[in-house]
């Protein structure tokens, strides 16, 4: 096999077959995929959840993860945020010609590893190769199907006054890890992306409470944007307490240096939950027993006042509005 | 986090605020020169801790905001010169010029790159010897020495494709111009912390001397700002005016002489046009004759159409401390951070952006409800 991906690898000819059959299929290794039919087919019943997302990240390998793990976890998490148990994924790769095949293999292996961690199977896929300069190394699209358990009704529009607001752990790790790798920020050394599948965590939460109203993973735009989305969708106010919002010291320090606010920095392995205050303690206890929820914390509550608005009590005891992210977060000049 | 948490101590902040409330009897207006102060004040809800006698006004201390449309238009024209890579701080991308923005120029095909420092731009020049890399030199005394260092480095390496479009500005001269105009009525100045780290707090001694104006240099944490306001109130109540610094961990009386030497080796003071304020003598920095080959303006003669201003935008008055963003008819409607009509809504240091981002808490009549 060639050392680098060539345009011919996407032409549908012999090289394409080699790439799929010798490299990718053995990695994802499952009977549904190995049939290599035009579609994978499987039996299904009940309510299904279906989602898709495309992944573009520079660099494609970053501390704590890579674009492959990101693409699997992102879709698994989107399914999990409606309470679904993720079942099957599709994987589409758009490869820039010239990408070392070893890197493609590394990404595919990382996808399979994440899929195994989540307990999902990649059952269909596609590979295209584009001219040098038409893509940035590698773009990945995944779509996923999951099954929504009986009686589960979780939505960003279901938050209610009186709910507790819970986050599953410290914020901003992913955004700072990627930025530090991209810009060579030595002061953020040691910060790793939190990219992880959250489906087991969500199932544990569902076992602890049958009344989870809203779940969402605060990816791009960070916690601030996610809370604003839910406040608007559910037409409720949200109050959080700065003191209770978990942020690692290294992430706080990096944010201070760059003039960024950790509330707006991306996460890829965290969730926000809203559920009745009475259930909050047992749910947090259940979350803390899970690998990806060990630092779960209650950070605020949902109220009826000022629907659509998120207000934070600062450490000084004053309060301020927390708005959506506008534009890209950019480091300050002076 | 050490050196930060100490300056965010809620108990001390409450004590300081109580002290200010107790001492302040006369209504006063203090201007925070620096946009980073404006943001820190809003982010921490400092205004909620102050008595009604103390009013805070934002000043012109936002380098992106004070860049004139004429300069912006020239930057956009430079970006469109074939073979040019325009390297800029990210804040400049979205600022609307007379007819367009750098972001729009980029979308139309201009090679505009966001960098974090002049050193990054220098690296771009090294990496693409067949292109001309122009760095947009925007910033105050804090940024200019780093740009000067990049020019010296380029000169030493014999790099022939690195240029600087210097729009740098000096802060003490514009503060003097504002006060001389008589339009901005002030009782004290919260002087910039980062700038003073370079120019030294003594650079502000002209304020008490020439204008009988109290002036205190502050850092950017809640306690820094409260302590500064406490000192200003103390001066006003005692009928005194002097220059001092409460940012002792960051600012020396004489500043950073090394940085200043570097800056004046490469640049010399020149007149500069500030948005909303006009041309202020000796308030800008031009490349010295010896370094003229690095001057983008002199090297690339580009036609620049006449500058136009949006007549409804009051950024100029906001920068002079004459009006607040809330008095603008565009604010929050025709002008938001996503679709800015003026620069003060774009920059992370702009007053309008601060008012918009943290609106309600302090900025508008409707304060947020109880937590």
Closest approach of B298 to chain A, Cα-based (Å):
25
Q: Do A58 and A195 lie in a common domain?
A: no
Which of B195, B356, B371 lies at the smallest CB-CB distance from A319?
Answer: B371
Q: Do A143 and A265 lie in a common domain?
A: no
Which residue of B250, B368, B370 to mutate against A (max A Cβ within 10 Å)? B368
In a domain, A231, yes or no: yes
Q: What is the pLDDT of residues B201-210, one digit of tens each?
A: 999 999 999 9
Domain that holds residue A217: 163-321
Q: CA-to-CA distance for A67 and A140, rounded, in angstroms? A: 7
Q: What is the pLDDT of residues A184-237, one digit of tens each?
A: 777 777 899 999 999 999 999 999 999 999 999 999 999 999 999 999 999 999
Tell whether A39 is within 8 A of chain B (Cβ).
no
Residues of B in contact with A183 (CB under 8 A): 116
In a domain, A211, yes or no: yes
What's the CATH number where A86 sits? 3.30.1330.10
Q: CA-to-CA distance for B174 and B280, rounded, in angstroms? A: 7
- Residue B214 Cα to chain centre, angstroms: 21
pLDDT at residue B366 is higher than 60: no
The answer to whether the beta carbons of residues B309 and B95 sit under 8 Å apart is no
Do the chains contact at B349 and A334, CB–CB below 8 Å? yes
Q: Do A267 and A168 lie in a common domain?
A: yes
pLDDT at residue A315 is higher than 70: yes
Closest chain B CA to residue A303: B371
Q: What is the pLDDT of residues B66-122, one digit of tens each?
A: 999 999 999 999 999 999 999 999 889 989 999 999 999 999 999 999 998 999 999
H-run or E-run covering B196: helix B193-199
Average pLDDT over residues A232-254: 95
- The confidence score (pLDDT) of residue B368 equals 46
What's the CATH number where A274 sits? 3.90.650.10
ipTM: 0.81
Query: Of A112, A147, A182, which residue is a domain's last?
Result: A147
- Give the pLDDT band of residue A332 (cuts 50, 70, 90): low
In a domain, A255, yes or no: yes
In a domain, A270, yes or no: yes
- Residue B361 Cα to chain centre, angstroms: 23
Nearest of B204, B243, B248, B246 to residue B229 by alpha carbon? B246
Q: Do A172 and A294 lie in a common domain?
A: yes
What percent of chain A clears pLDDT 90, i.e. is strictly above it? 87
Q: Which domains, from first to last, does chain B contain? A: 1-309 (3.40.50.11740), 315-357 (no CATH)
pLDDT at residue A156 is higher than 60: yes
- The confidence score (pLDDT) of residue B361 equals 45
The answer to whether the beta carbons of residues B141 and B171 sit under 8 Å apart is yes
Do the chains contact at A309 and B360, CB–CB below 8 Å? yes
Say how many CA atoms lie within 13 Å of B369 toward its Cβ: 13
Q: What is the pLDDT of residues B262-317, one digit of tens each?
A: 999 999 999 999 999 999 999 999 999 999 999 999 999 999 989 998 899 999 99
For A254, the 3-state DSSP assignment is helix
Q: What is the pLDDT of residues B14-63, one digit of tens each?
A: 999 999 999 999 999 999 999 999 999 999 999 999 999 999 999 999 99
Chain A segment 239-258 residues within 8 A of B by beta carbon are 239, 241, 249, 252-253, 256
Q: Do A230 and A131 lie in a common domain?
A: no
Closest approach of A67 to chain B, Cα-based (Å):
23
In a domain, A178, yes or no: yes
Q: Do A186 and A313 lie in a common domain?
A: yes
H-run or E-run covering A90: strand A85-96
Average pLDDT over residues B189-195: 97
Closest chain A CA to residue B140: A334
Q: CA-to-CA distance for B131 and A196, rounded, in angstroms? A: 42
Q: Do A316 and A224 lie in a common domain?
A: yes
Closest approach of B38 to chain A, Cα-based (Å):
13
Q: What is the pLDDT of residues B242-266, one digit of tens each?
A: 999 999 999 999 999 999 999 999 9
Rounded (10°) angle between helices B144-157 and B257-266: 60
Query: Of A117, A147, A177, which residue is a domain's last?
Result: A147
Residues of B in contact with A332 (CB under 8 A): 36, 91, 348-349
Q: Do A34 and A94 lie in a common domain?
A: yes
Q: Do A118 and A223 lie in a common domain?
A: no
Closest approach of A309 to chain B, Cα-based (Å):
9
Structural domain count of chain A: 2
In a domain, A30, yes or no: yes
Residues of A in contact with B63 (CB under 8 A): 333-334
Do the chains contact at A316 and B336, CB–CB below 8 Å? no
In a domain, A167, yes or no: yes
Which of A239, A252, A320 lies at the smallest CB-CB distance from B361?
Answer: A320
Q: Do A131 and A107 lie in a common domain?
A: yes
Query: Of A147, A175, A195, which residue is a domain's last?
Result: A147
- The confidence score (pLDDT) of residue A284 equals 98
Q: Do A108 and A234 lie in a common domain?
A: no
Q: Do A177 and A125 lie in a common domain?
A: no
Least confident of A7-11, A39-43, B159-163: A7-11
CA angle, B199 as apex, B196 and B204 as ends, to 5°? 70
Do the chains contact at A320 and B10, CB–CB below 8 Å? no
In a domain, A195, yes or no: yes
């Amino acid at each position: 096999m060639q050392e680098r991906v060539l345009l011919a690898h996407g032409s549908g000819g012999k090289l394409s077959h080699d790439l799929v059959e010798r490299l990718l299929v053995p990695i994802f290794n499952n009977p549904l995929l190995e049939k290599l039919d035009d579609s994978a087919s499987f039996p299904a019943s009940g309510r299904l959840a279906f989602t898709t997302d495309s992944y573009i990240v520079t660099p494609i390998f970053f501390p704590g993860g890579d674009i492959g793990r990101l693409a699997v976890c992102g879709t698994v998490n989107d399914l999990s945020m409606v309470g679904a148990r993720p079942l099957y994924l599709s994987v589409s790769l758009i490869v820039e010609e010239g990408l070392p095949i070893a890197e493609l293999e590394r990404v595919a292996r990382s996808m399979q590893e994440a899929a195994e961690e989540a307990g999902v199977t990649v059952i269909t896929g596609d590979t295209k190769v584009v001219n040098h300069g038409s893509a940035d190394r590698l773009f990945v699209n995944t779509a996923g199907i999951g099954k929504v358990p009986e009686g589960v009704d979780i939505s960003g529009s279901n938050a209610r006054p009186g709910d507790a607001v819970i986050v599953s752990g410290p914020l901003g790790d992913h955004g700072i890890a990627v930025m530090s790798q991209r810009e060579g920020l030595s002061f953020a050394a040691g910060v790793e992306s939190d990219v992880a599948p959250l489906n087991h965590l969500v199932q544990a939460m569902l076992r602890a409470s049958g009344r989870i109203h809203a779940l969402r993973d605060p990816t791009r735009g960070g916690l601030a944007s996610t809370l604003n989305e839910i406040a608007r969708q559910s037409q409720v106010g949200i109050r959080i307490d700065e003191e209770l919002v978990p942020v690692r010291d290294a992430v706080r320090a990096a944010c201070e240096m760059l003039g960024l606010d950790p509330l707006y920095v991306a996460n890829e392995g965290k969730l926000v939950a809203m559920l009745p205050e009475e259930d909050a303690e047992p749910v947090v206890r259940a979350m803390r027993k899970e690998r990806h929820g060990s630092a779960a914390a209650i950070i605020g509550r949902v109220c009826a006042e000022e629907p659509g608005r998120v207000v934070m009590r600062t450490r000084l005891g004053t309060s301020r509005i927390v708005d959506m992210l506008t534009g890209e977060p950019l480091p300050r000049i002076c | 986090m050490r050196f930060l948490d100490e300056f965010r101590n809620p108990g001390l902040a409450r004590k300081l605020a109580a002290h200010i409330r107790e001492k302040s009897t006369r209504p006063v207006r203090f201007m925070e020169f620096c946009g980073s102060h404006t943001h820190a004040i809003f982010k921490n809800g400092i205004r909620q801790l102050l008595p009604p006698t103390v009013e805070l006004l934002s000043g012109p201390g936002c380098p992106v905001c004070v860049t004139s449309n004429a300069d912006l238009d020239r930057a956009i024209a430079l970006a469109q010169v074939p073979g040019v890579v325009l390297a800029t701080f990210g804040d400049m991308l979205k600022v609307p010029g007379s007819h367009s923005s750098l972001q729009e120029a980029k979308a139309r095909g201009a090679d505009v790159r966001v960098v974090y420092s002049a050193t990054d731009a220098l690296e771009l020049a090294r990496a693409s010897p067949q292109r001309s890399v122009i760095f947009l030199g925007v910033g105050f005394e804090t940024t200019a020495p780093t740009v000067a260092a990049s020019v010296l480095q380029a000169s030493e390496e014999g790099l022939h494709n690195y240029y600087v479009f210097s729009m740098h500005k000096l802060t003490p001269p514009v503060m003097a111009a504002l006060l001389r105009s008589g339009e901005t009525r002030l009782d004290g100045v919260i002087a910039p912390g980062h700038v003073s780290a370079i120019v030294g707090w003594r650079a502000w001694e002209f304020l008490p001397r020439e204008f009988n104006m109290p002036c205190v240099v502050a850092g950017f944490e809640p306690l820094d700002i409260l302590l500064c306001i406490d000192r200003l109130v103390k001066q006003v109540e005692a009928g005194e005016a002097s220059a001092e610094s409460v940012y002792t961990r960051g600012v020396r009386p004489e500043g950073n002489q090394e940085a200043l030497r570097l800056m004046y080796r490469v640049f010399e003071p020149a007149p500069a046009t500030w948005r909303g304020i006009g041309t202020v003598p000796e308030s800008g920095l031009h490349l010295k004759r010896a370094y003229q080959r690095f001057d983008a303006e002199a090297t690339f003669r580009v036609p620049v159409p006449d500058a136009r201003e949006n007549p409804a935008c009051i950024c100029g008055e906001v920068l002079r401390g004459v009006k607040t963003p809330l008095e603008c008819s565009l604010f929050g409607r025709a002008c938001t951070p996503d679709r800015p009509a003026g620069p003060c809504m774009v920059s992370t240091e702009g007053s309008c952006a601060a008012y918009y981002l943290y609106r309600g808490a302090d900025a508008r009549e409707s304060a947020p409800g109880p937590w």
